[in-house]
Structure 1
Amino acid sequence: MSAVAIVPLADRPDCVPLLARWHHDEWAGLYEGAWTLEECESELRDHASRRHLPTTLVALEDGRPLGSVSLVREDAPEFRDLGDAWLASLYVLPAARGRGLGKRLVRELVALAAREGLPRLWLFTPEHEAFYAGLGWQRVGEASLHGRRVTLMDIRPQA
């Protein structure tokens, strides 16, 4: 098994269409059709143009994408008043799960937020509160997103 590298999407813009498909397939239902595949791909193309907020990190093994995570200004319009820096779209290919890639991606993203001087990073999750809590995220409360209960969490990145 080769080492997994985590790189900015700016280093691998060719991954945009694949990541867009993964993200859209995984989360479009949460946004009730308000997030098209084309919008998802456009957002990721924008992320591929920079290495700072908003951006995406990609986990690669032998050049093949295995997962990604994004740092965005807003993850859902319903929560825009909570904060201006969000961890979004953590995704690991099902065949690559169980290897700690999700944890590595989250840690790399929090480290990026710390380097950028972001005082607070937010996320919402419908079902993975324990995973994020294990990485130091704190539960802030619950909310409803298009009728689905989500847990709101935050972390204070430290350099």
Structure 2
Amino acid sequence: MSVVVIRPLAEVPGLAATLAAWHHAHWGHFYDPSDWSLQAATEELRDHATRRGRPTTLVALEGDAPVGSVSLVDEDAPEFTTVGDAWLASLFVRPECRGRGIGRALVRECVALAAREGVPRLWLFTPEHVDFYAALGWRDLGTATLRGHAVHLMDILPA
């Protein structure tokens, strides 16, 4: 097991399609397929690869291999546009790499990036990982429904 480093997708733009496949396979059911196809996810991440500020994506790398990612976006779901304007989105760690602190490191780096960007309040939604985020300082604001799925809305004040 080697050291995992977190880099902006802008430094490894060739990984956009790989990350899009992960994200779409894992979260596609939360979105209308006409709004968020695999092609749309790939285009979104290729766009993220052009910048280091919001909207952007951070990638966890072990050597040259991607092991996880997280995005900082302006909107994570059309249903929540009135909730907040800065979102931690698409936290994903490859299943065989979970339990090593990679997800925690990605969340912390995303919150730090939001702080550098001057974001006063960062949001996320999660169907099942409330305890994970709460342990990292996120506040559970209750449940909402996203395309028929119950999710928890959470927030944090980046410092």
- Band of TM-score, shorter chain: over 0.9
Measure the CA separation in 1 of the matches of 2:65 and 2:122: 28
* Identical residues among aligned pairs (%): 63
Structure 1-normalised TM-score? 0.98
Q: Counterpart in 2 of 1:96? A: 97
Structure 2-normalised TM-score? 0.98
Q: Counterpart in 2 of 1:9? A: 9
Q: Counterpart in 2 of 1:110? A: 111
Q: Give 1:32 deviation, angstroms.
A: 4.1
Measure the CA separation in 2 of the matches of 1:75 and 1:81: 11
- Listed as ranges, the gaps of 5+ residues in structure 2 are none
- Listed as ranges, the gaps of 5+ residues in structure 1 are none
Q: Counterpart in 1 of 2:75? A: 74
SS at match of 1:50: coil
Runs of 4+ in 1 over 4 A off after TM superposition: none
Q: Deviations over 1:13-34 (max 9, x none)?
A: 0101100100000010111424
- AA of the residue aligned to 1:143: A
Q: Counterpart in 1 of 2:88? A: 87
Measure the CA separation in 2 of the matches of 1:117 and 1:27: 28
Q: Give 1:132 deviation, angstroms.
A: 0.3
Measure the CA separation in 2 of the matches of 1:146 and 1:29: 8
Q: 1:52-67, aligned counterparts within 5 Å?
A: 52-67=53-68
Q: When the two structures are aligned, how many residues end up with a matched partner?
A: 158
